[in-house]
Structure 1
Amino acid sequence: MSSIIQLLPDHVANQIAAGEVVQRPASVVKELLENAVDAKATDIKLIIKDAGKSLIQVIDNGVGMSVTDARLCFERHATSKIRQAEDLFSLYTKGFRGEALASIAAIAHVEMKTKQGQEELGVHIVIEGSKFVSQEPAVVPNGTSFAIKNLFFNIPARRNFLKSETVEQRHIVDEFQRVAMAHPNIHFTMYHNGSEMFNLPISNYRQRIVTIFSGKTNEKLVPVKEETDIVNLHGFIGKPEFAKKNRGEQFFFVNNRFIKSGYLHHAIMAAYEGLLKDGAQPSYFLYLDVPPHTIDINIHPTKTEIKFDDEHALYAILRSAVKHSLGQFNVAPLLDFDRDPNLDTPYQYQNKEAEYPTIQVDRSYNPFAEDKPNPSFRSVSYKKTEVQPNWESLYVGLKQAGQEIAEMTFENEAVTSSLFDDTETEQEVRRTYQIHKKYIVSPIKSGMVIINQKRAHERVLYESFLTNMTVHQAVSQQLLFPLPLYFSPTEITLIKELQPALESTGFLFEAVHHDHILVSGLPVNVAESEVSIVLEELLSAMQDEIPSQSFSQNDTIAKSMAKSLAIKTGTYLSGKEQENLVHNLFACKEPNVSPFQKPTFITMSVEDLDKKFSL
């Protein structure tokens, strides 16, 4: 019987490895940027075309590679970072597996140019799908340049699974920002389709964060610093009043490597306990330096998850450090009451002793005596009334002793004879009633209908926004002064793409700058104080997934805005408002469910009520 187990060819093995290493264009960006950092570069350029599908190029001024190393770096498990197994527990560099370049070369057209500083000529290598096409000397600057073209050209199924260009671009920006924030001592620049997106000069950690996220980031940062034997912690946290609905500004770096940790995130949320609104997420940019032998960074293919030796101690240190910073910079409320400056001692009385008041008492004074009090005692005199009250006159007209005294009645301020709170007159017939400021009950022929007011309003707003975006007849209310709102460059790019759809709902934009926008008009049902909340929740929803079809994009916008603007549970509605909501709900095309496919109302027949009482 012939053997059925065979060794895979190298090109097949590289494609399988690429499935773990290269999930999307952002994965290539991450690997190439980390290699450039490990090459001790001080200037790194990232050039992207078509969200990485056509071109990903990383140019650095690092140490470069020799001719032999340039050819060998594309072999599987070839690395300059480790020599023996023990080196895995003392890693200070980024890449160490030696899979990245071999995997990338298996699924793309790769062009590499590299030269070391002491050499006169460099080398130019071209690879297509793991096959070496050419290798020749070339005059190139010091450092290395990788150009990755036509990603997944030989795996069309993987290419078809890529998301829209906006989504892939956002993932690339995320990877770029993570590497740039971890290394403020390196000059980073990023270009997309020929336009510059980021230009980050060499700076410190705070300046790098502010440059990336722009806007009012500098105002909301609170420094955190703690040094222990287990971890050296430094970085910044955001003030509670700047918390957002999304988790876009939450970063952990361990030994300058971005990681994700739900356990450490819980420590941050525990420190913010009592300071945040429901659903709000604080911003934090925290850098943890730990001994390499106390962590294992090889438990995940993308190396974004790390195993710590002593997680419990790290949790306690992180929570206490963040809580201490919130209190130290007067972000968290203190136990002491606020000092009133009006109670301070005036300057001219600071060195004087207090004069104690004296009390004079006339012990011989008798308030029931008819003679006047002692004139030597100073007191405030009141004019006596000449008519003395006759207490017996109050009992005239009452019944004789032994009989019941007439009961005294008092007029109430408000007389309520209805089971429900209403202000309508008796002539008006109530058709709806509100229960617990959450449900609206309305009688119908077969019984009654119970409506969830929040979900019902979501359905009404959703169909209204969708109709406006389809017909383009939305009404807008003009603002007297334009409203400035600050966002990160990534969010500004997203707002530019959503601008036509937002304008069709009633928003008007006077200008869109690189770090803020000027809103000059709002939809009729959006208050000025709600604009920032609505746009932030919309951006959070759109960043998760942006379909390429405009109808789907409009659908996502309508859902997000309906969710943000719908009346909340606990809101009192007058009788007229209740009736309008009921009428508008049943005038919708699909009144049975909310935009998120949850029921908006239930019905209860008279038979169902009879069964309840027959028990």
Structure 2
Amino acid sequence: MSKIKKLSINEAKKIAAGEVVERPSNIVKELVENSIDAGSKNISIYIQDGGKKLIRVVDDGFGMSEEDAKLCFEHHATSKITKVDDLDKIYTYGFRGEALSTISSISKIALITKEEDVQFGIKLLLEDGQIISEEKVSASRGTDIKVENIFYNVPARQKFLKKSETEWRNISQLFQSYCFAYKNIHFKLFNDDNIIFNCPTVKNIKERIVQVWNLSLSESCIKIEDENQKYNFSIEGYISNHQVHQFNRNRIYLFVNNRWIKNIELSRSLLKGYQNVLPSGRFPVAVILIKVDPKNVDINVHPRKEEVRLLHSYQIEQALQLSVKVALERNLSKQLNKNVKISGAKILPFEQSLQLYAETDFGQDYDNLITPARQSDFSRDTLIRVEQPFAAEFNLSNNLNKLEIEELFGSRISSRESSSEQLNVSKKESRFKFLGQVKKTYLLMESEEGLLVVDQHAAHESVLFDLFTKRFDTVSTVKLVFPHIINLQESELDTVIEYLPILKKYGIESERLGAAQLVITATPVHLKDASLDDLLSQVVSWINEFENLDNKDLESELSKKLCAQMACKASIKAGDDVSELQVDQLMKDLYNVENRFTCPHGRPTFWTLSTNEIEKKFKRDYKS
């Protein structure tokens, strides 16, 4: 008896559905793109339970005849192409004829559609890809399609759907992409019977930014444009200026021929244009539309059509990078009333570096570079031994000084004499000899092995992070005299609202205020001077980053991130003077930290130059 069996068509469709439909947003994508291809001027999208319970798309496009309405659910049935050569000149979204067939195989569908010149429309009900009911109904021109209970008949796929908030967030981001790509269409988005977005037609992208995001962000955006006749492409759009940035890439939208795409090379080119403009780990806001000849782009890369291949990709990437750089320079020059050039750091060739070494004047004064070990300019020390539990509250200034740490940890040094005694004891016990500071940022230490260079901020950050994660059971908070109101997108607020108890545990007391506002009433003392808007944006990005974890692991990761943020704000900074006592205590504390080699953000805390390596540099050989 044969072991190999041919699957039925319906079972094959269910298995293959994962290539087209992975989550509810994929269904929304296919249905909205069908509406756009049908010439719709008004498109309304209704979502329930993150799209898992219901996805409904209503448009006023051309509609379908009774025959086409039945045929559209057949596999590889399409009105967009007739042969593969048509892909060279295709302007529509769909062309494979797989989407409706696949969607109907894993959900329950109700379709009502009507053409303009007919009296009645047609209503079809489908289950498991089969039409179970059809009737003529009164209807307006266009199409109304409902998709319910996705993956109801494929439990193995249904259990991998994310939380409703996560699925809704993906749908919301997808919706925004269509608003940017099609200014001449009136889009509406409803979530659980509440209208979230109402975006009438506009004249330009900047007006869409106001509708989809907000006026303030729109005013911070600058226009970019470029055209290349040789390679037949053009670039236009809006990018944020040097003062606006995000903690993730969620507001970077790249389009090729109005198709929202994911392209690593183009994203990298955009970020290169911002080189030396944005802080590390921050991302711009961008809506960029690239127009190319359809013959020079391959959209048939993946069934979901989210990736494309460009024939002249290098030229487009270089043009995008230059357009961004020029736009930023022009904007800065206008603000400063003088010409500004943005340039990256250049790496000298080896021969030039040798020449530079030969021309170096070793007789010049380097006192401004290396500061000898001396008592701090502060009236109070900034670092002492941390031994005892936290106190209830303390006053945090820009620099965490001795008195404030004493109040925090209940440890006191009564006089300069006691400091001197501790210094004498610490000198005997210390494994390192403090030589001085470089640029008031790096500590030079002599050890038995050679020279140790320590990043004072990263080292102290590592010490405090270790302390916070182990002993931060109760947090001292500062009540805000004037509560701080933060404006978020409703999807962002829905994301963070579930984790407000965790934030409260770490001293950030807040509550919801309206549909898209969060009011902060208290903050931990360590974050008193931090930007609360930036902090909440970071929290949203962290939650999105760890959304695949279960609640316990997500809470653990979120706690680590908050501890890292507090350690960063509370630690000594680059540019701070430190005393020999403070350095000695810092090195002892760092030596006791489990992960002493890097700070919480992954930067190294120190590096060593062995005596042997130093001797090699000076071509010394004491053995001969």
Establish whether TM, by shorter chain, passes 0.5.
Answer: yes
- Report the counterpart of residue 364 of structure 1 in structure 2: none
- Report the counterpart of residue 504 of structure 1 in structure 2: 505
Q: Secondary structure at the match of 2:531?
A: helix
* 8 A Cα contact 1:509 1:518, kept in partner: yes
* 8 A Cα contact 2:458 2:598, kept in partner: no
- Report the counterpart of residue 525 of structure 1 in structure 2: 526
Give, as a single letter, the amino acid of the residue that structure 1 aligns with 2:210: V
- Report the counterpart of residue 209 of structure 2 in structure 1: 209
**Matches of 1:61 and 1:574 in 2, distance apart?**
70
CA-to-aligned-CA distance 1:241-272 (integer Å, 9 cap, x gap): 11223212111111111012222223223322
Segments of structure 2 that go 5 or more residues without pairing to the other structure are: 341-366, 377-415, 609-621
CA-to-aligned-CA distance 1:205-229 (integer Å, 9 cap, x gap): 2111222122621121101122332
* 8 A Cα contact 1:215 1:486, kept in partner: no
- Report the counterpart of residue 479 of structure 1 in structure 2: 480
Alpha-carbon deviation of 1:286? 0.6
Alpha-carbon deviation of 1:517? 3.8
Alpha-carbon deviation of 1:336? 4.3
**Matches of 1:542 and 1:337 in 2, distance apart?**
41
CA-to-aligned-CA distance 1:530-561 (integer Å, 9 cap, x gap): 32332222221211233685433422321222
Q: What pairs with 1:164-563 in structure 2 (closer than 5 Å)?
A: 164-204=163-203, 205-214=205-214, 216-229=216-229, 230-330=232-332, 336=338, 421-422=374-375, 426-429=420-423, 431=426, 454=458, 457=461, 460-461=464-465, 464=468, 474-509=475-510, 512-546=513-547, 550-563=551-564
* CA gap 1:592/1:294 in 2 versus in 1, 3 angstroms: closer
**Matches of 2:242 and 2:299 in 1, distance apart?**
32
**Matches of 1:155 and 1:68 in 2, distance apart?**
29
* CA gap 1:222/1:510 in 2 versus in 1, 3 angstroms: same
Q: Secondary structure at the match of 2:547?
A: coil
Q: Secondary structure at the match of 2:521?
A: strand
**Matches of 1:70 and 1:595 in 2, distance apart?**
61
* 8 A Cα contact 1:81 1:95, kept in partner: yes
**Matches of 2:592 and 2:460 in 1, distance apart?**
11
**Matches of 2:34 and 2:235 in 1, distance apart?**
25
Segments of structure 1 that go 5 or more residues without pairing to the other structure are: 339-413, 605-613
Q: Secondary structure at the match of 1:240?
A: coil
Larger displacement relative to structure 2 (528-537 or 93-102):
528-537
Give identity over the alignment, percent: 27
* CA gap 1:250/1:138 in 2 versus in 1, 3 angstroms: same
**Matches of 1:577 and 1:487 in 2, distance apart?**
42
* 8 A Cα contact 2:186 2:199, kept in partner: yes
Give, as a single letter, the amino acid of the residue that structure 1 aligns with 2:298: D
* CA gap 1:556/1:332 in 2 versus in 1, 3 angstroms: farther
**Matches of 1:123 and 1:463 in 2, distance apart?**
68
* 8 A Cα contact 1:90 1:293, kept in partner: yes
CA-to-aligned-CA distance 1:492-540 (integer Å, 9 cap, x gap): 3323333332233222336634455443321111033332332222221
TM-score after normalising by structure 1: 0.74
CA-to-aligned-CA distance 1:564-594 (integer Å, 9 cap, x gap): 3324885758567678878988999x87899
* CA gap 1:537/1:582 in 2 versus in 1, 3 angstroms: farther
Give, as a single letter, the amino acid of the residue that structure 2 aligns with 1:97: R
Q: Secondary structure at the match of 2:170?
A: helix
Q: Secondary structure at the match of 2:39?
A: coil
**Matches of 1:462 and 1:185 in 2, distance apart?**
55
* 8 A Cα contact 2:197 2:212, kept in partner: yes
Q: What pairs with 1:77-116 in structure 2 (closer than 5 Å)?
A: 77-116=76-115
* CA gap 1:133/1:520 in 2 versus in 1, 3 angstroms: same
CA-to-aligned-CA distance 1:400-425 (integer Å, 9 cap, x gap): xxxxxxxxxxxxxx9xxx98555575
**Matches of 1:523 and 1:166 in 2, distance apart?**
28
- Report the counterpart of residue 125 of structure 1 in structure 2: 124
* 8 A Cα contact 1:592 1:599, kept in partner: no
- Report the counterpart of residue 396 of structure 1 in structure 2: none
- Report the counterpart of residue 345 of structure 1 in structure 2: none
* 8 A Cα contact 1:542 1:556, kept in partner: no
* 8 A Cα contact 2:478 2:528, kept in partner: no
- Report the counterpart of residue 156 of structure 1 in structure 2: 155
Give, as a single letter, the amino acid of the residue that structure 1 aligns with 2:311: D
Q: What pairs with 1:4-15 in structure 2 (closer than 5 Å)?
A: 8-15=7-14
Larger displacement relative to structure 2 (120-129 or 71-80):
120-129
CA-to-aligned-CA distance 1:352-395 (integer Å, 9 cap, x gap): xxxxxxxxxxxxxxxxxxxxxxxxxxxxxxxxxxxxxxxxxxxx
